[in-house]
Amino acid sequence: MSWLNRLLSSRPESAAAQAAVQTALAQWQTLPPAPTRLPHYETRYVVLNTEATGLHPERDRLLSVAAIAIERCRLDPAHSLYAALEPAPAQTLARLLAFCGQTPVVVFNSGFNRVMLEQALSDTLNVSTEWPWLDLYWILPALFPEHQGHAARLTDWMGFLGIETFQRHHALGDAYAIAQLLLAALARARQRGLHAPQALAELESRTRRDSRPR
């Protein structure tokens, strides 16, 4: 019996649910790496956000996940996913992997969201991702230096860019706000000649490097 079979057999999911998890994982693992040099208009981005028991990845646990796809630089709320981890964390995380595929993943504050997601995927499914991660916490101040010129809170960026959402401090509600921020970032990036995910990744790297104390 494989490690995944042992894990799932200890949970109350049905045999059909267990098989669905294994099928989703197998399909996800065969996907090719995400292209990072295609234009934004040809790139599918997925905005990820999490909700946890607290703000400390080393001692808190993941409660729910949310994902919203941006395709052809358009946001369609129908292309979204929201699910709690309990009572079937393996199913929820397998659904998340299937939804994301191998695409550039966008978060706000990777120090929390990325760490929580990667820890849950490792603990629950024993998988690690090769997603290109983009963190708007660092990308936005580089694209919009007229707004303070340094990293700021999600609430600050929402106010600066006039963005609203249906519910703050909720995984999907905040993901919807972050998705709108991504659209603003893509529009400004194109104006600056940054036409692909790789260019945004390089911009983030420079911004992080320049923020370090000298």
154-211 residue pLDDT tens: 999 999 999 999 888 899 999 999 999 999 999 999 999 999 999 999 999 999 998 8
| Helices 89-100 and 15-29: angle between axes, nearest 10 degrees | 30
Q: Under a CB-based contact definition with an 8 Å cutoff, are residues 46 and 76 in contact? A: no
The domain segmentation of the chain, as residue ranges, is: 36-211
Beta bridge partners of 84: 64
Q: Tell me what pLDDT residue 214 has.
A: 59
pLDDT of 37 higher than 50? yes
Q: Tell me what pLDDT residue 168 has.
A: 87
Q: Under a CB-based contact definition with an 8 Å cutoff, are residues 138 and 68 in contact? A: no
* This prediction's pTM: 0.89
Ramachandran class of 105: left when φ > 0, alpha when ψ lies in -120 to 50, beta otherwise? beta
Q: Under a CB-based contact definition with an 8 Å cutoff, are residues 178 and 49 in contact? A: yes
For the domain made up of 36-211, the CATH class stated in words is: alpha beta
- Please give the C-alpha separations between residue 161 and each of 70, 116, 174, 176, 177, in angstroms, as whole numbers: 18, 27, 15, 14, 11
The Cβ of residue 154 has, within 10 Å, a number of other Cβ atoms equal to: 21
pLDDT of 11 higher than 80? no
Cis peptide before 87 (omega within 30 of 0): yes
Residue 9's pLDDT band, with cuts at 50, 70 and 90, is very low
